[in-house]
Structure 1
Amino acid sequence: MARSLDVSEGTVRSRFRRLEEGGVLKITAFADPGRFGTARLALLFLKVAPEHHASVVDHLTACGEVSYVSSTLGRADVFAQVLVADDSALWRFLQERVRPLDGVLETECTLEVAVHKLWFDKDGSGRPGGAR
């Protein structure tokens, strides 16, 4: 990274630490769902009554099976990514821990089976630093 930016490694470490401490930067790992065997990586889309939105989000963020939660606009109000051991565990998680929550009006569950692209950038170019 230092070489590509033409700065010292110490400068990169310092900037990285400052961004991380400021909550701007977080390093995460993404697993390839196609390599999980029987484990299931599921994407949940929930329609939630407005007065229950915060409590549903709080519940999901506290679940060990849930790796990601966001509020969304469109067909769902809440999106969550869930990793469980197998189909049976996914069914139990939905039936016992998600659908009974106060305010959950609808659930949609999609299985993620392969990742074809994983890249985040601000300008939408799909290239590091917006290089063209």
Structure 2
Amino acid sequence: MPTSSLDSLDLDIIRQLQENGRRAFREIARHLQVPEATVRVRVKRLQEQGVLQVLAFLNPEKLGPAKLALLFVNVAPKEHEQVIDTLGRWSEVSYLSTTLGTADICVQVLCRDDESLWAIKQRVRNLPGIRDVRTMQEVKVHKIRFSLPPNGIEQAALL
């Protein structure tokens, strides 16, 4: 769903949930001065349209020994969609995107140790159409957040 189909109330509701995904609809409604039912209906619509997903986000550093890494994958164009579909089903994959630049696909994985990271890399290498896989281990994640741009930027998209 393009941003242009969201109105300012949708964006305000999303911002409220980004601050605290467990915030009660009643509290959001009070803050935005709209009926609670309006918030409930809009959140449901945003979720059904795939715009909004409220979930728990874990901190890998707090799990004990774990390896977080990025795999940069180059793949034959005709195999791209199949590789995306396959990687998207792997439990170790926490983030998956098509990219422009030096790689076709960026894959973030979370695994136990170097040995399991190596095994994942080998599994990726063995997928049909894979041309190259480069690995970058993440030592520490300082920020991860998908949020709306600052006020004003998305307003231009609404016009």
Report how far residue 53 of structure 1 moved: 1.0
Report how far residue 99 of structure 1 moved: 0.9
Total equivalences in the alignment: 126
Tell me whether 1:119 sits opposite 2:123 in the alignment. Answer: no
Specify every segment of 5 or more residues in structure 2 that has no aligned partner in the other structure, as ranges: 1-27, 153-159
Cα 1:13–1:107 shift into 2, 3 Å: same
Q: CA RMSD in A?
A: 2.1
User: If each structure's helix is expressed as a fraction of its own residues, which one has the higher value?
Assistant: 2
Q: Distance in 2 between matches of 1:101 and 1:29?
A: 30
Q: Distance in 1 between matches of 2:61 and 2:128?
A: 33
Identity within the alignment, %? 49
Could you report, residue by residue, the CA deviation over 1:34-56 in whole angstroms, capped at 9, with x for unpaired residues?
Answer: 22321212211111111221221
TM-score calculated relative to the size of structure 1? 0.81
Asked if the contact 1:84–1:90 (Cα under 8 Å) also holds between the matched residues in 2, the reply is yes
TM-score calculated relative to the size of structure 2? 0.69
Tell me whether 1:34 sits opposite 2:34 in the alignment. Answer: no
Report how far residue 21 of structure 1 moved: 1.4
- Displaced runs of 4+ in structure 1, greater than 6 A? none
SS at match of 1:110: strand
Specify every segment of 5 or more residues in structure 1 that has no aligned partner in the other structure, as ranges: none
Asked if the contact 1:33–1:112 (Cα under 8 Å) also holds between the matched residues in 2, the reply is no
1:110 to 128, 136, 153: 136
Tell me whether 1:6 sits opposite 2:33 in the alignment. Answer: yes
